A and B are shown apart, each in its own frame.
Chain A
Amino acid sequence: MSEQRLSRRSVIAGSSVGLVSAAAGCIEEGGLLGGGGGSDGPIIGVLEDRSGEFALNGESKWQATLMAIEEINADGGVLGEEVEVYDPDPQSDNERYQELTREAINSEQVDALWAAYSSADREAIRPIVNDHDQLYFYTTQYEGGVCDETVFPVGATARQQLGAVIPWMIEEFGDEIYIINADYNFGNISQDWVRLLADEEGAEIVGSEEIPLGETDFASTINDIQAEDPDFIASMLVGSDHENFYDQRADNELDIPIGSSTTMAQGYEHERLDPPGLADIYVGVNYMPELETEASEEFTDKFYDEYPDAEYVNQEAQNNYFSVYLWKEAVEEAGTFDQDEVIAQLESGMEVDAPEGTIELDPATHHMTHHMRIGHSDEDHNITFDEEQYIEPSFLHEVGCDLTEESETTQYEPSDFYDGI
């Protein structure tokens, strides 16, 4: 291509020769009437859904973040200063996320941002985050692949979760797999990972279906699975509509075990749905509150003391909690709230004591190495854990993402790097 790609920065430079912005450039950043904006002390932005589609998942993320900040403030704050919180409700709404992110960055001038449950919301605000080089923690488990200079996606990736559960399922139950997944980015990329992992293990995919988000009737899906009679099902269903699958599965006595990356740890289906809908579901997680380690029990005790009415403290709530502490430690070691320096500190490689265990940040990719467990629900929906592995974010290493060497703001997908999927 002869024409060079315009980078966003050069475009901004271009615009500053524009008449209007030149005029605007003459005035103060805050305008004639606007104040300096933001608070004097440190402040973080917490945009987590408490209404709309993702409220079920967002609520405890929000609660756990506030709890972490309260603990930190009670313990003397960060660098001796009390941390404030800017936490309006984004209502699971894309545009609102964009508006509030601009508010958080421009008006509140947050020192770090925690925001978004869904990947779509993350993608909606990432251009704004990039524009302002804002330090941003995205904590949901997600499809993986984000290689972005100021973004720290600290949740487990699909590769980490499925890497824990799929090979184990193949060994335990057999090598014929039927895949069902929500028909969107996360689901489709997860399907790609299942195929890659099956390939590595010499297993066979006997069928697959991409199911639209919002589908409630699984009669046809269940019949298709029955016709193939696989050894196990790899399921990446998402959202409350897809939950109907579990009851319909029980009604149809579809007792084929399920390996999953999406159930229970986020939406606590095992507590909300009556048994035996989730019987013999195995989920790859980095955290569930049923985990009986000392750190986990300490965390859940504190959480339920703080929020006695809370329904569940999910995997993402844990991720928010430890990442606030991760940020605190980075700030204190850097000795400043300056975001570039905090990012540099984080990129020096850090460790944090999380409820899931002590985990490390991978400097090159900004992802965490996680303790991945296999949570198993029995027919009474009791949770036990089967195996634990310490899995690093290998995919981005393989594609050559190294943010300590080269800044970029890309999202990589496995289908761009592997054949046969």
Chain B
Amino acid sequence: MSVKSSIGVLANRLREPFEGPNTIGNTNGFWIGFLLTVLLFAIYPILFGPYAALNPAQFLVFALLAVSLTFIWGFCGILSFGQVAFFGVAGYTFGIVTINIPTYTGATLGIIIAVAVATAFAAVIGYFMFYGGVRDVYVTILTLVVALVLHTFMEQTAGSQWTIGEAHLGGYNGMNVPQDLAVGFGETGVAFDGVAHYYVVLFTLVVTYLLLRAVVNSRFGYAMVATREDEARTEMFGYNTTFIKLAAFTVGGAIAGISGVLFVTWGAYINPSQFELVAATMPVIYASIGGRKSFAGTILAAVAIQYLELQLTGEWAFVIVGSLLVLIILTMPDGIAPRVRNLVLAVGEWRSNRDRSGQSPPAEEVSD
């Protein structure tokens, strides 16, 4: 009995930093579902074979990219179309570094430099926008145009003059990046290929998920949400909302950069189509469908939509996917996650009412 309750205390202690008013899944049931989902993803390659994990690895990479958007859009009100810009810049940077330094040292440096460049790029764009008074839909358009500038520029880098060290930018045909995801020094280190890469992606996604939950439920997270809700008032309370937006945007850029590195090591390839309008739209789609205020919703929507797209092979694929997007947006205004949560709560309430009427002990801790 005492062992059991101390486990309960420990579990509650563990959960504490990740819970709060800004995340919608805070119940026991939610965390059990969370653990089961992670477990499912973890044993997927064991169930279906290591090869079967290769495509899901990509789904999770794009889920991570979408999470970077959820963080800034859902919690700070910044709808950025430019996450693919940071994603692509990191991917290309990793390629440039590792092609020039084809050792474990290079791979390690590649990760660090790529994410640093993406983060710095996001900080510069963010500074340029937020300290220049650009807001709302103009942020959306400006970030989109940044991605399109990169697209237009990178497409014409086919000539041999566009070479950085040994790395040829490659224009429309893109850049082959033979280096696997790896860490180490010189000739010693660990590389993550195939199924190992899948686990790195899964691990990164879970850790990012938990960290972001902690961030949005921290003081900084409250300030972000306050900025989203009413910028002028938040400013009056003494918060520097411009800085808050810049900081959130920069973190979003860093996460997008990480996903870019994971992407380029997945396919050993990157080309300018990553900066295109359709590519730029996809994270927005995942976040909208999943629920832009829910990281878990975004992740699951990203995986589900990509899985569906891969399964639909015929000429009606786009028609089905497009109609589905319209239908979900019309029927579930805030995306699927809040709808699911309400459903779960309703069932819980119905059950506890039934229990109470049956004179059984009151249900333990309910949500929030």
Direct A–B touching in the complex (beta carbon < 8 Å)? yes
Using a CB–CB distance below 8 Å, which chain A residues touch chain B?
A: 3-6, 8, 11-12, 14-15, 17-18, 20-21, 24, 27-34, 37, 50-51, 88-89, 91, 93-96, 98-100, 102-103, 106-107, 119-120, 123-124, 126-128, 183-185, 187-189, 210, 212-213, 413, 415-416
- CB-CB under 8 A from B195, the residues of chain A are 20-21, 24
Residues of B within 8 A of A21 (CB): 50, 193-196
Q: Is B179 an interface residue when CB atoms closer than 8 A count as contact? A: yes
**B199 beta carbon closer than 8 Å to chain A:** yes
Lowest 5 CB-CB distances: which A-B pairs, in order? A31-B49, A88-B313, A184-B172, A106-B51, A127-B268
CB distance from A122 to the nearest CB of B (A): 8
Encode B297-317 as 1/0 by CB contact (under 8 A) with A. 000000000000110011101
Per-residue CB proximity of B44-58 to A under 8 Å, as 1/0? Answer: 011111111011001
Q: Is the CB of A8 within 8 A of B178?
A: yes
Docked-complex contact A11 and B182, CB < 8 angstroms: yes
> In the complex, how many angstroms separate the beta carbon of B274 from the nearest chain A beta carbon?
8
The complex places the Cα of A124 from the Cα of B177 at a distance, in Å, of 10
Are B45 and A120 interface neighbours, CB within 8 A?
no
Partner among B170, B196, B318 whose Cβ is within 8 Å of the Cβ of A20? B196
Residues of chain A within 8 A of B186, CB atoms compared: 3
> Across the interface, do A33 and B313 meet the contact criterion of CB distance under 8 Å?
no
Cβ–Cβ contact B317 & A28, under 8 A:
no
B46 contacts A27, C-beta separation under 8 Å: yes
Is B126 interfacial (CB 8 A cutoff)? no
Please determine whether A24 and B46 come into contact, CB atoms closer than 8 angstroms.
yes
Cross-interface CB contact of A94 among B194, B271, B313, cutoff 8 Å = B271
From A50, A51, A99, A183, contact of B155 by CB (8 A):
A183
User: Contacts of B176 on A, CB cut-off 8 Å?
Assistant: 123, 126-127
List 12 interface pairs A-B (beta carbons < 8 Å), by A numbering.
A3-B101, A4-B187, A8-B180, A11-B180, A18-B196, A37-B51, A93-B273, A94-B174, A98-B269, A102-B55, A127-B269, A415-B159
B174–A124 CB distance below 8 A: yes
A4 to B101, CA, bound (A): 9
For residue B314, which residues in chain A have a CB less than 8 angstroms away from its CB? 89
Contact A102–B54 (Cβ < 8 Å): yes
How many Å from the CB of B47 to the closest CB on chain A? 5
Residues of B in contact with A, size category: 35 or more
Q: Please determine whether A29 and B49 come into contact, CB atoms closer than 8 angstroms.
A: yes
Residue ID in chain A nearest B170 by CB atoms: A185
Q: Establish whether residues B193 and A31, one from each chain, have CB atoms under 8 Å apart when the complex forms.
A: no
Of all chain B residues, the one with the shortest Cβ separation from A187 is B158
CA distance A142 to B105 in the complex (A): 36
Pair B271/A123 contact, Cβ less than 8 Å: yes
Contact partners of B22 in chain A: CB under 8 A: none
Whether A27 and B182, one on each chain, are in contact in the complex, defined by CB atoms closer than 8 angstroms, is no
Structural contact, B52 and A106, CB atoms closer than 8 A? yes
Q: Are B190 and A15 in contact (CB under 8 A)?
A: yes
Q: Pick from B171, B193, B199: contact of A184, CB below 8 A.
A: B171
Structural contact, A12 and B172, CB atoms closer than 8 A: no
**Known interface pairs A33-B48, A89-B317, A187-B158; 7 further A-B residue pairs with C-beta atoms within 8 A, sorted by A's residue number:** A4-B187, A11-B180, A15-B180, A29-B50, A30-B48, A96-B310, A107-B51
Contact B58 A95 (CB under 8 A): yes
- Does the CB pair B179–A413 fall under 8 Å? no
- Which residues of A have CB within 8 Å of B58? 95, 98-99
Partner of B174, one of A8, A14, A28, A120: A120
Cβ proximity bits B266-285 to A, threshold 8 Å, 1 near / 0 not: 01110101000000000000
B46 to chain A, nearest CB (A): 6
Highest count of chain B CB atoms <10 Å: which of A96, A119, A120: A120
Question: Which residue on B lies nearest to A27, using beta carbons?
Answer: B46
Complex alpha-carbon distance, A30 and B47, angstroms:
8
Which residues of the partner chain A approach B47 to less than 8 Å between Cβ atoms? 31-34
- Interface flag for B37 (CB, 8 Å): no
**CB-CB under 8 A for A124 and B269, given A33-B47, A184-B173:** yes
Q: Assess A415 versus B313: contact at CB under 8 Å? Given A8-B178, A184-B171.
A: no
Chain A residues lying within 8 Å of B46, measured Cβ to Cβ, are 24, 27, 31-32
**Residue contact A3 to B102, C-beta cutoff 8 Å:** yes
Complex-state Cα separation, A28 to B309, whole angstroms = 28
B158 A185 Cβ-Cβ under 8 A? yes
Q: Does B156 contact A (CB under 8 A)?
A: yes
Does B28 count as interface, using CB distance less than 8 angstroms? no
Residues on B with beta carbons closer than 8 Å to the beta carbon of A29: 49-51
Could you tell me the distance between the alpha carbons of A6 and B152 in the complex, rounded to whole angstroms? 32
Residues on A with beta carbons closer than 8 Å to the beta carbon of B172: 119-120, 184-185, 213
A27 touches B49 (CB 8 A): yes
Set of chain B residues within 8 Å of A34, measured between Cβ atoms: 47-49, 52
Contact A6 B45 (CB under 8 A): no
When distances are taken between beta carbons in the complex, the residues of chain A under 8 Å from B103 are: 3-6
A127 CA / B177 CA spacing, docked (Å) = 9
* CB of B191 closer than 8 Å to a CB of A: yes
- B141-187 contacts to A (CB < 8 Å): 152, 155-156, 158-160, 170-174, 176, 178-180, 182, 186-187
| A120 contacts B160, C-beta separation under 8 Å | no
Return chain A residues, CB-CB under 8 Å to B48.
Answer: 30-34
- In the complex, what residue of chain A is closest to B186 when comparing beta carbons? A3
Per-residue A-contact encoding for B187-212, CB less than 8 Å = 1, 0 else: 10111111110010000000000000
Question: How far, in angstroms, from A106 to B55 measured CA to CA in the complex?
Answer: 11
Cβ A6 vs Cβ B102 within 8 A: yes
Q: Which residue of B lies closest to A188 (CB)?
A: B158
Beyond A3-B101, A185-B172, is A123–B269 a contact (Cβ under 8 Å)? yes
- Give Cα distance in the complex from A14 to B55, angstroms: 22
Find chain A residues with CB under 8 A from B269 CB: 94, 98, 123-124, 126-127
Contacts of A4 in B (CB 8 A): 103, 187
